[in-house]
Structure 1
Amino acid sequence: MPIRREHRFFYPIDWPQLSAAIRFGRARGACEGCRRPHGRTVVHLGDGRWWDEAVAAWRDGRGRRVRVAPGAVDILGSVRRTRVVLAAAHRDHDTANNANANLAAFCQRCHMIHDRPEHRRRRWTTLFRRKALGDLFRGPYG
């Protein structure tokens, strides 16, 4: 995922090289959460299951093979295509902690799932701050 301009200061100078080493060296170009391959367009059902062309099988959100029962899912009606892009993610959300064990190569889906609690926390903080500023300068809400 691209780094916002205001957050670039928090990342080390060699972040592009460190990110590439994690994504393509350690993870070998596949998501460490679901094993989706970087740079490929994958067919998926929207619930985490995706078609792995290399082994000709469906995989779940954790990369394990699953069987899709015929008729259980309207595959043709729910199939979508997504281009997979790997990103290096901080497991503890601390951009100063660049230890090898703290970094993971995640696809867009796994990265958003991993960051969901942090996004909720930041959203609550932002809304709470806006309300507090409104109370401070404009009086209580009606």
Structure 2
Amino acid sequence: MPIRPEHRWLYPIDWPEISRIVRFKRAGGRCERCRRPHGRHVAQLAGTDGTWWDVEIAAWRDGRGRPLRRQPAFVPLDAIRMTRKPVYLATAHLNHDPTFSGPRWRNLAALCPRCHMIHDGPEHRRRRWWNAFRRRALGDLFTGRYN
């Protein structure tokens, strides 16, 4: 995920190299949560909790990357809804603070887009609430109460 120009100054100058090391050396080119491989299209069952087909082990994995104990039930071909999504790993800050990467980059994780959005969801909701609260407060301060 590209860094917005207004946030660029928060990251260290060698961020591209740090990100590359975390994604490909430490994580081995796979998501650290669900094990999806970088740079490949992954077949995912639509309407499930992230069940996807891992070509390397020829088995289905759940949304956390564990092989399924029982395979999905037989479904006729015309009823199968599968999506093929490309996977591009991004380096995520686990505490949502880009200014601190921690010792040995323990605060960083290589995540696929799905896991990254699941991880960032509560923070996005908190920021959305805070921005709306701030806008209403400024409106009350300068233009009176809202209708």
* Worse-superposed segment, 45-54 or 28-37: 45-54
Q: Is the 8 A contact 1:33 1:63 kept in 2?
A: yes
State the distance in 1 between where 2:22 and 2:78 align.
34
Residue in 1 that maps onto 2:123: 118
2:142 to 129, 134, 137: 137
Q: Is 1:64 equivalent to 2:66 in the alignment?
A: yes
* Worse-superposed segment, 62-71 or 9-18: 62-71
* Worse-superposed segment, 11-20 or 91-100: 91-100
The amino acid across from 2:108 in the alignment is L
Pair 101,76 (structure 1): closer, same or farther in 2 beyond 3 Å = farther
The amino acid across from 1:92 in the alignment is N
Unpaired stretches in structure 1, ≥5 consecutive residues: none
Q: Which aligned segments of 4 or more residues in structure 1 are displaced greater than 4 angstroms?
A: 73-76
Q: Is 1:87 equivalent to 2:68 in the alignment?
A: no
Pair 10,52 (structure 1): closer, same or farther in 2 beyond 3 Å = same
Unpaired stretches in structure 2, ≥5 consecutive residues: none
Pair 11,76 (structure 1): closer, same or farther in 2 beyond 3 Å = farther
The amino acid across from 1:135 in the alignment is D
CA-to-partner distance for each residue in 1:37-90, whole Å, 9 max, x for gaps?
00000110243111111111111111011121224x988532011100000111
The amino acid across from 2:126 in the alignment is R
The amino acid across from 2:86 in the alignment is R
Pair 4,76 (structure 1): closer, same or farther in 2 beyond 3 Å = farther
Residue in 2 that maps onto 1:49: 51
Using the TM superposition, give the Cα deviation of residue 97 of structure 1 relative to its aligned residue in structure 2, in angstroms. 1.6
Please, what TM-score do these two structures have when normalized by structure 2? 0.90
Aligned residues between the structures = 141
Q: Is 1:103 equivalent to 2:105 in the alignment?
A: no
- Once the two structures are aligned, what percentage of the paired residues are identical? 60
State the distance in 2 between where 1:94 and 1:57 align.
36
